[in-house]
């Protein structure tokens, strides 16, 4: 028989068939080419070598389609190519290409080599009809070769889903007894287990099953194997948790079909074996019919696209088109109200608690302290991101790895402030890569960069998507989704998603296809497209795209309206005390690294201390007598004490007022990776209290030495009592500063608050004029630390008598100034209470700064819009369109299938789930979803 090789290409790769053996394309795991799609039969297509090439025979109930027509059989001859869709005209696509005497094919005689898995080769894409005038062809730069491969395959990529599921697909031929695939040996390991025993899993080598993953704890979980089969998994109180079928568990029974997840490692019982898979990021990512509402306004309309593993997707569109909305929906930060996001076939929203750990997110503003070096920033980042039991050496190794991966070795010891925009962005990406996310999202990474840096960042992202290949520290690559305003280097992407205002898909496909579709010569001209998009209704652009040849119908079922996701526990890796230690050390390092700031905080108390010092008080702060021995009023005492307390309050507030707002981007990002609010605020308070206290000591000594009050009331030393009063007032003002820092969105806005509050304290301190008898003002003054601090100073100094001598009736000027221990203590206590109240308010306001994760609870109108949408079904279903949805006759993008559960339609296929290792046949539908979902 002639030696003809058949190249079978699906969305995730290619199988080369050579020799004399027949092969099967189907959903069954034992198929030679696995396409795990509900439209595909278990043994859908039979491929047999024939005299003329390869015979292709439909063996399914739903059929095999070529050019929209059902065919039962065809022959692919050498040099020919056939594009087939399985299970329907919109089913997953398979491209068959026959090559005579293929290189590397086995010589006649010996048994045929098993089909080999390899990355998809370039497959010529059919020419796309262009709604805009087609642009002359511009040759792609050599660099673009890989992108072109994906681009060429794009027409089949969005529909075919070979071997998906939570566990990496087995793409090559599968041994039906072991379920192992010779082509992906590294992805799967088998650990024999003894029934009736116990095995421990964890990061350290002394475990029965070592899990080499920094997201796993040293001793992570125990698996108890019952003698009669079945098992129970117990989480050993870990930071990252143990998951069974996507749900975090402390202890849970585990059956043969259940999937245990620890970090990036997944385990399944297979008889007397425990089969381990590693989520290396080689998984597809899908968005299906995402709809988002804000009130009655629909921000996103039926967003549908699929990305194969290791793709770089660029999301572009005019301002307000919905890019951030999409990013929030895809990351799960603000889930879509309807529709699904699937990661490796698993529902991201349903299994968010587990899958959110695989997501890296690089915000637009670099979440980095400018004063730290790249290495220090990464080391502190690693401390916060990894479990408390990781050693400094383990973290150091990972930090050095990511420094190398991102090409930052030469810059590792430079402070972030000395980096170029592109290097800063690479450092932000490095922070995210520490935990090896399988999905990386970036929000406007190139904004503000010059073209050279823009290009460098896009090249970096492309390299990150593709991975470094075998043997490199970053072998596998990952899917990278980048939202960008910059269109110049979109050719670096595998796919481009162009959004139209209203969150419509104006285009999705390969970048060169986008140029053709929009009639542009190159991406320099692409900005004009945004103008067109802004001036054309989104529905119209979406309809135009759907009618074009670039549109690939989706095989997804209709969207389901989603209930609001349940609140999830924090991702915290470390106990609060450990975080407090990390954050305090980092904060100190940031301060110590900034020499000019250090000089400033050292000089500040000296300069401020001079202010009360220069106030002449020749008679000191105590009692003054006339020459004839008569007591008289000492007005200097009030002036000195009020200036003293006011300067202290100003100093305390100035220390803190910018400290939260200036790092709000860092705070926001770190909150999503489990930063404790208590630890964060605690670190600020510890460091700032230390600085403020030291400053107050210097300042008080300069201001008061040699003219202290005469007699203490409680602590034995008037100087110490004054010092305590000044420190407490300064710290309470520092707390007010922190509160202000949470209220503003920009550090520059803190200055007016600083001035205003200091002036207010001057009045409310009651030193310029008594406020205690003024209705309203008296009560308001209780909120001013200067009021209590000054009262404590006045109490020590006995100011009622020092300045009130000879007052008719002898009433005290202010009862809070009384010269006794009880009143002094009350003043100090009230000032501290005020500090605590401010701290409490700060913790509340800090929440406002946090990223909004989850759906807004108050979106009552949105809820009703969603409910209406759900009640009448998805687009394409009979009935009225949902608010803002395409009307009748206007199918939604994605060529939706019937609504879930609509009469006359079969129920939707269950979410594909890792097939049972070793099982010869897939289970019946309904068994593939994780139990209990």
Ligand X SMILES: Nc1ncnc2c1ncn2[C@@H]1O[C@H](COP(=O)(O)OP(=O)(O)OP(=O)(O)O)[C@@H](O)[C@H]1O
Per CB under 6 A, the segment of 244-252, 315-323, 626-634, 890-898 that binds ligand X is 315-323
Of the pair 285, 293, the CB lying nearest ligand X is at 293
Q: Does residue 319 touch ligand X according to CB under 6 A?
A: yes
Q: Does residue 321 touch ligand X according to CB under 6 A?
A: yes
Name the 3-class secondary structure at 799: helix
Q: Shortest distance, CB of residue 293 to ligand X, whole angstroms?
A: 9
Cβ–Cβ < 8 Å for 368, 424? yes
Q: Shortest distance, CB of residue 324 to ligand X, whole angstroms?
A: 3
List the interface residues with ligand X, window 711-730 (CB under 6 A): none
Q: Shortest distance, CB of residue 790 to ligand X, whole angstroms?
A: 46
Of the pair 81, 447, the CB lying nearest ligand X is at 447
Nearest to 222 by CA among 203, 240, 202, 241: 202
d(CA 364, CA 17): 46
Residue 502 tokens read as 């209203």
Q: SS3 for 153-193, per residue? A: HCCCCCCCCCCCCCCCCCCCCCCCCCCCCCCCHHHEEEEEC
d(CA 873, CA 578): 50
Q: Specify the DSSP class assigned to residue 373.
A: B
Among residues 52, 134, 230, 320, the one that binds ligand X under rule CB under 6 A: 320
Of the pair 501, 898, the CB lying nearest ligand X is at 501
Of the pair 319, 596, the CB lying nearest ligand X is at 319
Which positions from 324 to 343 touch ligand X by CB under 6 A, shown as an x/- string?
Answer: xx------------------
Neighbours of 129 (CB within 10 A): 12
Residues 6 or more apart whose CB falls under 8 angstroms from that of 605 comprise 651, 694, 695, 696, 698, 699, 702
Which positions from 190 to 219 touch ligand X by CB under 6 A, shown as an x/- string?
Answer: ------------------------------
Q: Does residue 322 touch ligand X according to CB under 6 A?
A: yes
Of the pair 707, 855, the CB lying nearest ligand X is at 855
Q: Does residue 445 touch ligand X according to CB under 6 A?
A: no
Of the pair 322, 332, the CB lying nearest ligand X is at 322
Residue 892 tokens read as 């939604």
Q: Which residues of 638-664 are buried (b: 16+ CB within 10 A; e: fewer)?
A: bbbbbbbbbbbbbbbbbbbbbbbbbbb
Cβ–Cβ < 8 Å for 790, 642? yes
Q: Does residue 596 touch ligand X according to CB under 6 A?
A: no
Q: Shortest distance, CB of residue 659 to ligand X, whole angstroms?
A: 28
Among residues 161, 323, 684, 707, the one that binds ligand X under rule CB under 6 A: 323
Q: Does residue 847 touch ligand X according to CB under 6 A?
A: no
Q: Does residue 298 touch ligand X according to CB under 6 A?
A: no
Of the pair 34, 499, the CB lying nearest ligand X is at 499
Name the 3-class secondary structure at 579: helix
Of the pair 177, 319, the CB lying nearest ligand X is at 319
Of the pair 319, 535, the CB lying nearest ligand X is at 319
Among residues 53, 172, 317, 553, the one that binds ligand X under rule CB under 6 A: 317
Of the pair 303, 617, the CB lying nearest ligand X is at 303
Cβ–Cβ < 8 Å for 73, 49? no
Q: Does residue 858 touch ligand X according to CB under 6 A?
A: no
| Residues of the chain by 3-state class (helix, strand, coil), percent to 5 | 35, 20, 45
The torsion angles phi and psi of 276, rounded to 5 degrees, stand at: -110, 135
Of the pair 28, 299, the CB lying nearest ligand X is at 299
d(CA 880, CA 438): 39
Q: Shortest distance, CB of residue 453 to ligand X, whole angstroms?
A: 20
Residues 6 or more apart whose CB falls under 8 angstroms from that of 875 comprise 289, 302, 558, 881, 882, 885, 886, 890, 891, 892, 896
Q: Shortest distance, CB of residue 321 to ligand X, whole angstroms?
A: 4
Q: Shortest distance, CB of residue 865 to ligand X, whole angstroms?
A: 12
Per CB under 6 A, the segment of 126-134, 255-263, 323-331, 541-549 that binds ligand X is 323-331
d(CA 560, CA 552): 21
Residues 6 or more apart whose CB falls under 8 angstroms from that of 103 comprise none
Q: Does residue 857 touch ligand X according to CB under 6 A?
A: no
Q: Does residue 363 touch ligand X according to CB under 6 A?
A: no
573-to-204, 357, 375, 381, 385 alpha-carbon distances in Å: 17, 11, 20, 12, 6
Q: Shortest distance, CB of residue 194 to ligand X, whole angstroms?
A: 55
Of the pair 61, 857, the CB lying nearest ligand X is at 857
Q: Does residue 179 touch ligand X according to CB under 6 A?
A: no
Q: Does residue 299 touch ligand X according to CB under 6 A?
A: yes
List the interface residues with ligand X, window 238-297 (CB under 6 A): 294, 297
Q: Shortest distance, CB of residue 862 to ligand X, whole angstroms?
A: 9
**Binding footprint of ligand X, residue count (CB under 6 A):** 11
Per CB under 6 A, the segment of 31-39, 319-327, 748-756, 886-894 that binds ligand X is 319-327
> Please, how many CA atoms are within 13 Å of residue 819, restricted to the half-sphere of its CB?
16
- List beta partners, residue 69: 66
Of the pair 181, 484, the CB lying nearest ligand X is at 484
In the complex, which residues of this chain contact ligand X (CB under 6 A)? 294, 297, 299, 317, 319-325
């Amino acid at each position: 028989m002639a030696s003809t090789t058949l190249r079978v290409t699906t969305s995730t790769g290619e199988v080369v068939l050579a020799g004399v053996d027949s092969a099967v394309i189907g959903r069954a795991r034992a198929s030679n080419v696995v396409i795990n799609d509900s439209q595909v039969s278990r043994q859908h297509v039979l491929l047999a070598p024939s005299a003329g090439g390869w015979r292709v025979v439909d063996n399914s109930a739903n059929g095999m389609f070529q050019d929209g027509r059902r065919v039962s059989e065809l022959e692919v001859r050498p040099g020919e190519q056939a594009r087939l869709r399985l299970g329907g005209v919109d089913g997953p696509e398979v491209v068959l290409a026959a090559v005579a005497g293929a290189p590397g094919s086995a010589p006649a005689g010996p048994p045929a080599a098993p089909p080999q898995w390899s990355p998809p080769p370039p497959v010529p894409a059919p020419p796309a009809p262009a709604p805009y005038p087609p642009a002359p062809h511009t040759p792609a730069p050599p660099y673009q070769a890989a992108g072109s491969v994906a681009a060429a395959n794009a027409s089949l990529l969005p529909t075919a889903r070979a071997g998906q599921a939570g566990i990496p697909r087995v793409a090559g031929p599968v041994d039906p007894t072991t379920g192992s695939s010779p082509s992906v040996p590294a992805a799967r390991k088998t650990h024999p287990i003894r029934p009736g025993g116990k095995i421990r899993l964890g990061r350290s080598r002394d475990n029965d099953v070592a899990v080499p993953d920094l997201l796993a704890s040293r001793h992570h979980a125990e698996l108890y194997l019952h003698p009669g089969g079945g098992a129970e998994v117990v989480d050993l109180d870990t930071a990252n948790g143990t998951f069974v079928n996507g749900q975090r568990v402390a202890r849970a029974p585990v059956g043969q079909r259940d999937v245990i997840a620890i970090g990036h490692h997944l385990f399944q019982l297979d008889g007397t074996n425990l089969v381990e898979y590693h989520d290396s990021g080689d998984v597809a990512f899908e968005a299906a019919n995402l709809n988002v509402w804000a009130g009655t306004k629909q921000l996103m309309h039926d967003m549908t696209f699929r990305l194969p593993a290791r793709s770089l997707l660029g999301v572009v569109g005019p301002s307000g088109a919905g890019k951030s909305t999409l990013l929030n929906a895809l990351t799960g930060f603000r889930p879509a109200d309807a529709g699904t996001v699937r990661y490796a076939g698993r529902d991201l929203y349903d299994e968010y608690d587990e899958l959110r750990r695989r997501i890296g997110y690089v915000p637009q503003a670099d979440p980095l302290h400018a004063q730290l070096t790249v290495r220090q920033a990464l080391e502190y980042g690693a401390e916060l991101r990894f479990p408390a039991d990781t050693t400094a050496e383990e973290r150091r190794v990972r930090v050095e790895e990511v420094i190398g991966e991102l090409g930052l070795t030469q810059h590792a010891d430079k402070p972030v402030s000395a980096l170029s925009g592109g290097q800063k962005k690479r450092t932000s990406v490095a922070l995210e890569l520490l935990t090896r996310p399988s999905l990386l999202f970036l929000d406007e990474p190139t904004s503000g960069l010059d073209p050279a840096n823009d290009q460098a960042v896009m090249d970096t992202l492309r390299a990150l998507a593709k991975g470094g290949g075998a043997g490199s520290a970053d072998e596998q690559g990952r899917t990278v989704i980048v939202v960008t305003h910059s269109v110049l280097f979109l050719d670096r992407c595998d796919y481009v998603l162009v959004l139209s205002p209203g969150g419509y898909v104006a285009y999705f496909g390969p970048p060169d296809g986008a140029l053709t579709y929009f009639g542009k010569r190159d991406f320099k001209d692409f900005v004009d497209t945004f103008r067109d998009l802004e001036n054309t209704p989104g529905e119209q652009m979406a309809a135009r795209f759907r009618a074009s040849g670039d549109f690939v119908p989706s095989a997804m079922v209709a969207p389901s309206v989603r209930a609001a996701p349940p609140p999830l526990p924090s991702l915290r890796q470390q106990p609060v005390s450990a975080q407090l230690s990390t954050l305090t050390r980092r904060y100190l390092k940031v301060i110590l690294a900034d020499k000019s700031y250090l000089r400033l905080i050292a000089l500040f108390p000296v300069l401020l201390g001079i202010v009360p010092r220069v106030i002449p008080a020749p008679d000191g702060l105590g009692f003054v007598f006339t020459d004839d021995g008569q007591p008289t009023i000492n007005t200097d005492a009030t002036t000195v004490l009020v200036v003293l307390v006011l300067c202290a309050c100003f100093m305390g507030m100035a220390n803190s007022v910018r400290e939260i707002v200036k790092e709000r981007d860092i705070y926001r990002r770190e909150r999503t990776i489990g930063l404790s609010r208590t630890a964060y605020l605690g670190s600020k308070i510890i460091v700032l209290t230390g600085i403020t206290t030291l400053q107050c000591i210097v300042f008080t000594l300069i201001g008061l030495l040699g003219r202290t009050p005469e007699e203490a009331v409680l602590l034995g030393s008037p100087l110490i009592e004054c010092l305590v009063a000044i420190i407490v007032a300064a710290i309470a003002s520092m707390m007010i500063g922190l509160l202000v820092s949470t209220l503003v969105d920009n550090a520059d806005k803190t200055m007016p608050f600083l001035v205003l509050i200091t002036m207010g304290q001057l009045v409310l301190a009651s030193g310029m004029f008594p406020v205690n008898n003024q209705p309203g003002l008296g009560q308001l003054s209780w909120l001013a630390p200067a009021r209590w601090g000054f009262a404590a100073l006045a109490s020590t100094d006995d100011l009622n008598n020092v300045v009130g001598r000879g007052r008719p009736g002898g009433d005290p000027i202010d009862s809070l100034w009384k010269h006794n221990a009880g009143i002094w203590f009350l003043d100090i206590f009230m000032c501290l209470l005020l500090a605590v109240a401010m701290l409490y308010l700060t913790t509340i306001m800090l929440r406002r700064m946090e990223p909004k994760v989850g759906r807004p609870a108050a979106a009552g109108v949105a809820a009703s819009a969603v409910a209406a949408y759900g009640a009448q079904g998805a687009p394409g279903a009979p009935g009225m369109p949902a608010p803002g949805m395409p009307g009748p006759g206007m199918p939604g993008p994605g060529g939706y299938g019937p609504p879930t559960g609509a009469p006359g339609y079969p129920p939707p296929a269950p979410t594909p789930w890792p097939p049972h290792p070793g099982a010869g046949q897939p289970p019946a539908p309904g068994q593939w979803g994780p139990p209990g979902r």
